[in-house]
Chain A
Amino acid sequence: MNPKQFLEQECKNVKEFLKDTLRYKYGSNVSKKYFSECNNRLKYISDEIDNTDPKDLVGLHKNGSLLNELTGLISRIERSSLGNYSWPFVEQLKKISENICTEQTLLNPNTPPIFHIFSGEGLSSYAIYPEQNRVRVSKNRILTIVFPRTLKHFVLLHSILGHEIGHAIWRSQSHQHKLSQIMESQLFRSGGPFLDRKTTAEWLYSDDAPNEVKAQLNIFKNKFRQFKTLTKDNFFDIFADWDAWKEEILCDFIGLLTFGPSFVAAHCQLLYAIVPSGINVGPKHPPVGFRVNLMLAASRILGYETIDGLPKGEILDTLNKFWGELKGKKQTGTWFNPFSDEQIKNVLVELQNLIDSYPPASFELPQKELLEKLFLQLVSKVPPLGFEMSSDDPVLNEVDFRHILYIGWIATHHHSQIPFDIINRLCEHAIMQQIGINTYISQTKKTAK
């Protein structure tokens, strides 16, 4: 077979493979859109291959790459069937992110993304892959949300995906423009070590930098052949991506503003689980300790550490313990805190304004009454949700799932010492039940009209 014939056969294989994937269920109202989108892409690529001259080797190679990419996308399907991830969490995540991730396409000013869920490997597999902007054969952008398979029920940790929403919205050109303006004017160019590549490298290599950072930079230089010549001057040429670092900082802020305190807790928990020292410097990620410190400072500025009017007592004590432990993760030293409170506040205000214009993406702190009700349910080992029976008739309320997550995190510090996995299951169960309640409330409202 010549390369063109092989690719034509492969197109047929992909078509059969795509049909085969419909053996499984992939969540409510998702399967059809995803199938159609993949089918459309396959049709385009097949037509292109058919129309490519067998002697056009460059053309064949390029189309082969597109086919490969599509096959990769489809092959993930079988790891995304219902049962491999927490569908209640995913439904709520889609609900808060669909509006802000909607983008303008050629024929539709408001094209929502298609969400595809995938069950991945290892703790670090949390991600939302938004697909590249350049050269796509798509009608709708597919956002692939990846959950570690082992953490299926650990909804408290899933709050980390708020960061990933940041990456997804960065891929929208109009959002990227606004976000870039905000971050540059309010944070990076208003002082601190992110003025330019040189300043960041100087900060990293400064005398003030922790010994662990210096040690790590030496390890890279001595252990990896390709980094033998690594210095301050070429750090962002041969090791790290400066723009990626800045994008990570932005996405941490987005995570905070979309998921609130549960994002901070998940952020600390997971980052320190992977890098216990908190000092990791990565090619695409700035130092862990710097990021955590920044989020803790931002939480303080946003007033997340307190709930207005919460009286002294068990709940307040537990809340304080929760924040106390988080603040204990702060790295000491000015090196880890290069931005002022004013800079952080200014960037938060602008980002908040942007996110507020795409409801319900924005996180709002719960009122103390709600916090109390949810807390008392959870510590009594009842899934915390918007139901109570204070009178003779049940009272039902819609509750934001992010409040359930927050109360879950707080409850991890309660003296009842409910195990972490049980708290997660109770919260996941609550999110599922709350979807039922919300469905009931919205349908009965429609009928009443």
Chain B
Amino acid sequence: MSIISVYETDNSDFMYKKFASLASSYLDEPETKRSDSANVPLENLFQLLEMYRYDAFSDESRSGVLALDDVNTRPSDDEWYTKIKTALEQAVVIAYGNVSKEKAVDELEETLRLIARNTNIQSAMQKKAKKFFEKFLEELS
């Protein structure tokens, strides 16, 4: 029997807020994006955008193919993404206007890549990305 039981709640909101805030700071101060581990927030945002692109938010929470008798495991509260998805939708509309979801995601992902590669980003692109992160953070707060 372990010394403590902790019902771990999903911390995705918290982490994505942090990642978005970091990505935004990299746009303002590119010198903060120097170390390799600075790519972790960017990678996470990229993967989130891919989930959003494909509306594929179903995520890992199960045991193996033959673990049949686990009746003590309740069904997971896998609505971890509801608030995040809404925040993404709002942020895309504010930052990219009437552009299709596909195009907006393409541009955002390209911005993330340019940040990761320490490459100069066009001012218009940078502005839209900043607006996106700001709105996304606001929606998650």
Q: Do A and B touch each other in the complex, judged by CB within 8 A?
A: yes
Residues of A near any B CB (own CB < 8 A): 40, 43-44, 47, 58, 62, 65, 104-107, 123-127, 129-139, 146, 160, 163-164, 167, 170-171, 173-174, 176-177, 180, 220, 224, 226-227, 236-241, 243-244, 247-248, 251, 270-271, 274-275, 280, 282-285, 288
Supplied contacts A134-B48, A146-B64, A283-B70, 17 more A-B pairs, CB within 8 Å? A107-B39, A107-B116, A107-B117, A123-B66, A125-B64, A127-B67, A130-B60, A132-B61, A134-B12, A171-B59, A173-B47, A176-B54, A243-B78, A274-B68, A282-B68, A282-B69, A282-B71
A163 touches B60 (CB 8 A): no
Q: How long is the Cα–Cα vector from A247 to B6 in the complex, in angstroms?
A: 28
Residues of B close to A138: CB separation below 8 A: 43
Residues of A close to B67: CB separation below 8 A: 124-125, 127, 282, 284-285
B63 contacts A by Cβ under 8 Å: yes
B86 contacts A by Cβ under 8 Å: no
A124 touches B64 (CB 8 A): yes
Residues of A close to B69: CB separation below 8 A: 124, 274-275, 280, 282
Residues of B close to A124: CB separation below 8 A: 63-64, 66-69
B58 touches A170 (CB 8 A): yes
Q: How long is the Cα–Cα vector from A107 to B54 in the complex, in angstroms?
A: 19
A-B contact count (CB 8 A): 160
Least distance between B136 CB and chain A CB atoms (Å): 15
| A-side interface mostly | helix
The residue that B15 contacts in the complex, of A62, A126, A129, with Cβ under 8 A, is A62
B31 contacts A by Cβ under 8 Å: no
B96 contacts A by Cβ under 8 Å: no
Residues of A close to B68: CB separation below 8 A: 124, 271, 274-275, 280, 282, 285, 288
B42 touches A106 (CB 8 A): yes
A283 touches B75 (CB 8 A): yes
Q: How long is the Cα–Cα vector from A122 to B64 in the complex, in angstroms?
A: 11
B29 contacts A by Cβ under 8 Å: no
Q: How long is the Cα–Cα vector from A247 to B65 in the complex, in angstroms?
A: 11
- CB-nearest residue of chain A to B76: A241
A284 touches B46 (CB 8 A): no
The CB with the most chain B CB atoms within 10 A, among A160, A226, A240, A241, is that of A241
Q: How long is the Cα–Cα vector from A146 to B66 in the complex, in angstroms?
A: 12
A176 touches B75 (CB 8 A): no
B58 touches A137 (CB 8 A): no
Q: How long is the Cα–Cα vector from A47 to B35 in the complex, in angstroms?
A: 11
Residues of A close to B109: CB separation below 8 A: 106
A173 touches B54 (CB 8 A): yes
Least distance between A42 CB and chain B CB atoms (Å): 10
A238 touches B66 (CB 8 A): no
CB interface residues, B 10-39, toward A, < 8 Å = 10-12, 14-16, 35-37, 39
- CB-nearest residue of chain B to A133: B59
**Given A139-B43, A174-B54, CB of A134 within 8 Å of CB of B74:** no
Residues of B close to A227: CB separation below 8 A: 71
